[in-house]
Every structure is written in C-alpha cells, then in structure tokens.
C-alpha cells in the first residue's frame, strides 16, 4: 500500500475533479502492474495497472489507495467492474470514497463477485491525499 500511496502523491492537483489514486497489483510477491490516475483524471489507476498486468492479474491482489469506482461518469466500465472481470482474488483499499460514483458501491460489487475486500490499510497515511476531495464531496452530498 505504501507503494500505491507513493504513486498517487505526485498526481495530487493534476487529476482535475477526480482524486489521485495509486494502484499496485501483486501476485506471489511480484508486482504485475502499478499506476496512478492520469493527468486530468483519466485513465484511472486501476485501469492502467490492470493493462500492465494483463491475464496474470487473475488470482492477484490489488492495493488501491481509494475505493474503486462503481460507475464512471463517462459510461465506461468502472474500476470495480474491471477488477472483477480480471479475476482478482483480493482488493485492499486504504480509504473509502464518498463520491456518488463509489460510496460503497465499488466495494459491494467486488464482494458480490466473490472477491475478498479489505478497507483501512494505511488509511491514516493515505487520507491526506484526499482531504480536499472528501471535503468537496461532503459539500455535494449536503446540497
């Protein structure tokens, strides 16, 4: 997870309205793919890391700094859909995502697909990456 946080950190402020997320995919102690959200908010970190991992992602574990999205505003496949389709065995997340595009929906989709989902690993280290994002989402929810 520390590697995922390190990948996300330089992208803070470069991803538009999207959060800067880091993702590392591991299997048998080997990194298969790693990425951060792209400039402007696309592509998402999970999407890029899965592309690097390819078929080897089946049965792997993804470490993601923020809950994978359940929906995408663009209508493209969400990160939780992509992780499930790749056959991940486990997804470990640092922080919850309060966005209407996630808000527990990503976690629910992964669990429904039979993927072990854990949340909270190194949350205190990752949370500062999302302070302004979470504050903005909190204002949206109150409106």
pLDDT in tens, 7-32: 999 999 999 989 999 999 999 999 99
Minimal CA–CA distance to 18: which of 48, 42, 49, 47? 42
Point out the catalytic residue in the list 17, 34, 46, 123. 46
Predicted local distance difference test score (pLDDT) of residue 140: 61
Question: In this structure, which topology does domain 2-142 adopt according to CATH?
Answer: Cytidine Deaminase; domain 2 (3.40.140)
CB of 46 within 8 A of CB of 25? no
DSSP state of 99: S
The residue-averaged pLDDT of 25-45 equals: 97
pTM score, whole prediction: 0.94
* Dist. CA 60–CA 49, nearest whole Å: 12
C-alpha 66/C-alpha 100 separation (Å) is 14
Q: Where are the domains of the chain?
A: 2-142
Q: Could you tell me which of 70, 56, 59, 55 has the C-alpha nearest to residue 107?
A: 70
Is 46 a residue of the active site?
yes
pLDDT for residue 40: 95
CA distance 85 to 135: 32
Tokens of 35: 């990425």
Q: Is 54 helix (H, G, I), strand (E, B) or coil?
A: helix
Which H helix or E strand runs over 91?
Answer: strand 90-95
- d(CA 37, CA 18) in angstroms, rounded, equals 8
Asked whether residue 131 carries a pLDDT value surpassing 60, the answer given is yes
pLDDT at 98: 87
Report pLDDT digits (tens) over 57-104. Answer: 999 999 999 999 999 878 889 999 999 999 999 999 999 998 888 889
Displacement of CA 4 from its chain's centroid (Å): 9
Q: How far apart are CA 6 and CA 69, in angstroms?
A: 20
């Amino acid at each position: 997870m520390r590697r995922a946080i390190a990948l996300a950190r330089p992208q803070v402020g470069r991803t538009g309205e999207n959060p800067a997320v880091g993702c590392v995919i591991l299997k048998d102690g080997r990194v298969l793919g790693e990425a951060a959200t792209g400039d402007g908010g696309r592509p998402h970190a999970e999407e890029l890391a899965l592309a690097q991992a390819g078929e080897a992602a089946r049965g792997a574990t993804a470490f993601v700094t923020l809950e994978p999205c359940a929906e995408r505003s663009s209508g493209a496949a969400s990160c939780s859909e992509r992780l499930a389709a790749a056959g991940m065995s486990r997804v470990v997340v640092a922080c919850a995502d309060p966005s209407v595009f996630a808000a527990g929906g990503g976690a629910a989709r992964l669990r429904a697909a039979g993927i072990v989902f854990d949340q909270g690993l190194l949350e205190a280290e990752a949370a500062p990456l999302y302070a302004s994002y979470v504050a903005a989402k909190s204002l949206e929810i109150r409106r």
